[in-house]
Amino acid sequence: MDAWMKAALAYVEHWLDHHVKRMQQPGCAIAVAHKGRVVLERAYGHADLVAGRKLTPRHRFRAASHSKSFTAAGVMLLRERGLLRLDDPVGRYVDGLHPNVAEATVAQVLSHSAGLIRDGADAGQWQDRRPFASEQALRRALAEPPVIAANTRFKYSNHGYGLIGLLVVAVTGEPYADWIAREVVAASNLTETTPDVPPARGAPLARGHSSHLPLGRRVIIPGDNPTQALAPATGFVSTAADLARFFASLDPAAPRSILTPASRREMVRRHWRDDQSTLGQHYGLGITIGRTGDWDWFGHGGGFQSCLSRTVVLPGRDLAVSVLTNAVDGFANAWSDSVIHILRGFAARGAPTVRTRDWTGRWWRLWGPVDLVPVRDHVLVAWPGMFNPFMDATEIEITGRDTGRIRRSSGYGSPGEPARLVRNGRGKVRDVWLGGTKYVSEARAAAELRRNYED
């Protein structure tokens, strides 16, 4: 692993710890894989805020729509084995469908362009008002006509992936959960992933949490309800580490995968653009494709009643990032983007050197903290409270062991002014001065607040 990457991952840990606390989130788990091997794995906060149980990296989360990527990989595996083709009509394998639904191709259903209803006429399963659809209920819904004509636009459909689950059963002659667990999950050497609840015996499941409103407090959302016929769309249970490894294996350049490079290229190819979204994202086959800054990524997100999650792969960089949160207002999407921003920042600037490495740490004043982040030939003054901590970051040019000059800053900052470190008698940095402002440790900042405003 390159030195810049090690430095970036160390800062990711430090930054995310602060952000989970700042945003008052119950818990978050993160894993980063490099060349398919997990190189960062951390858990922050609580698995159950009410009971006070700490979250660990071994806690399982409802991975929700990550399930679609597993299901799509299974279909590509069946295609490689000559058991189906992507341009086959789904009605060739699944009976009882409305004629227009039956005409939709496998690829159209996988790419959410078959025009199918998203969650049925009553989507109360997402509000815990009713169970997820049984096979009989799903089939009744699929006997109705499509909502819009196929192959006209991107239109997300959980029911569509339920239909793919029926297709897998028809082609393999096995229950979906049994086949996918053996041929995709186990074959990918994943040991902490199941296609639906319950997780493996003894494996802890992170509890979900509501937002603070409307009650003014969070309540527990168990998130342990089975998804039945919609497991292919949203049932999977996993850890950040397993998700990072699995999605890394879908990179067309990955050396090890259950799929051929050709199948992986087809999955991550831009099939449809979500034209009504300002995010500019595309969808492939069970895969979302997007860009953060100038770095491309592919992956998938997930939203269950109890958890919000997202996993992204950075093709050409041998990196995969999975961020799992256990609240309905979790910041999985924003935090995975944040990790990309941090990685981009270090990749562009390089690892710290002997000259810059002492200029580090989190330093506080009344208005909150800043992070000194040493890079190759200068030091960034990052804002840990921001989703992109390096946005418009001040830069310090080092002129001596404990002296520097602010060489780049917003005009509202202190460009051209001095920066310096103040050490105690043991040589440890005690204070940081940036221009005319003194920054101190978190403990001293807390003491100052109490002294000034509480005593």
Q: 105 and 208, same structural domain?
A: yes
Residue where one domain finishes, among candidates 291, 325, 350: 350
Helix (H/G/I), strand (E/B), else coil: 117: coil
Residue 1's pLDDT is: 80
Return the CATH number at 253: 3.40.710.10
Which alpha helices (H) appear in 55-200, and where do they start and end? 66-80, 99-103, 106-110, 135-142, 158-172, 176-180
Range of the domain at 275: 1-9+22-350
Q: 371 and 303, same structural domain?
A: no
Domain assignment present for 59: yes
Q: 336 and 391, same structural domain?
A: no
Domain assignment present for 3: yes
Residue where one domain finishes, among candidates 318, 350, 382: 350
Residue 386's pLDDT is: 95
| Residue written as token pair 């940095």 | 429
Domain assignment present for 17: no
Q: 284 and 334, same structural domain?
A: yes
Q: Quick one: CA torsion of 246, 248, 253, 256, rounded to 10 degrees?
A: -40
Domain assignment present for 394: yes
Q: Can you read off the two tokens belonging to residue 208?
A: 């979900």
Domain assignment present for 16: no
Residue 61's pLDDT is: 98
Q: 382 and 274, same structural domain?
A: no
Residue 143's pLDDT is: 98
Query: DSSP for 193-211?
Result: -BSSSS-STT--BPPEE--
Q: 375 and 342, same structural domain?
A: no
Q: How many domains are there within the chain?
A: 2
Q: 342 and 365, same structural domain?
A: no
Domain assignment present for 15: no
Domain assignment present for 408: yes
Q: 292 and 433, same structural domain?
A: no
440 burial class (0-12, 13-18, 19+ CB within 10 angstroms)? middle
> Is 356 within 8 Å of 381 (Cβ atoms)?
no
Residue where one domain finishes, among candidates 350, 373, 402: 350
| Residue written as token pair 């607040």 | 449
Cα 90–171–183 angle (5° rounding)?
A: 120
Residue 413's pLDDT is: 86
Angle of helix 135-142 relative to helix 158-172, nearest 10 degrees? 110
pLDDT digits (tens, 9 = 90+) for 72-113: 999 999 999 999 999 999 999 999 999 999 999 999 999 999
Kindly provide the b/e burial profile for residues 364-384, where b requires at least 16 CB atoms within 10 angstroms of the residue's own CB.
beeeebbbbbbbbebbbbbbb
Residue 383's pLDDT is: 94
The model carries a pTM of 0.95
Q: 335 and 384, same structural domain?
A: no
Domain assignment present for 14: no
- The 8 Å CB, 24+ separation contacts for 424-430 are 429/358, 429/361
HSE-up (13 A, CA, CB side) for residue 222: 6
Q: 325 and 365, same structural domain?
A: no
Q: 344 and 376, same structural domain?
A: no
Q: 391 and 322, same structural domain?
A: no
Residue 279's pLDDT is: 81
pLDDT of the chain along its 455 residues, tens only?
A: 899 999 999 999 999 999 999 999 999 999 999 999 999 999 999 999 999 999 999 999 999 999 999 999 999 999 999 999 999 999 999 999 999 999 999 999 999 999 999 999 999 999 999 999 999 999 999 999 999 999 999 999 999 999 999 999 999 999 999 999 999 999 999 999 999 999 988 899 999 999 999 999 999 999 999 999 999 999 999 999 999 999 999 999 999 999 999 999 999 999 999 988 888 899 999 999 999 999 999 999 999 998 999 999 999 999 999 999 999 999 999 999 999 999 999 999 999 999 998 899 999 999 999 999 999 999 999 999 999 999 999 999 999 999 999 999 988 889 999 999 999 999 999 999 999 999 999 999 999 999 999 97
